[in-house]
Amino acid sequence: MVAARPGDGEPPHRSSGLRVTCEAVRTPGGWRFGAMTAALAWAQER
């Protein structure tokens, strides 16, 4: 049995959004993801 962590069952105290960009690369075998970045778009404390 796993002990409950503080905040389990409670709404989050912070919410945020990410902006994810992907680079698609054409290879002989088809399209592949070349590079990915994730940046914080916004954050809100509750």
* pLDDT, mean of residues 4-29: 84
**Confidence band, pLDDT 50/70/90 cuts, at residue 7:** low
| Dihedral sign, Cα of residue 4, residue 9, residue 11, residue 17 | positive
Q: Which is more confident, 3 or 28?
A: 28
Residue ranges per structural domain of the chain: 14-45
- Which of 23, 19, 45 lies closest to 34 in space, CA to CA? 23
Alpha helices by DSSP H, the chain: none
**Confidence band, pLDDT 50/70/90 cuts, at residue 4:** low
| Dihedral sign, Cα of residue 22, residue 27, residue 29, residue 34 | negative
* pLDDT, mean of residues 12-38: 93
**Confidence band, pLDDT 50/70/90 cuts, at residue 21:** very high
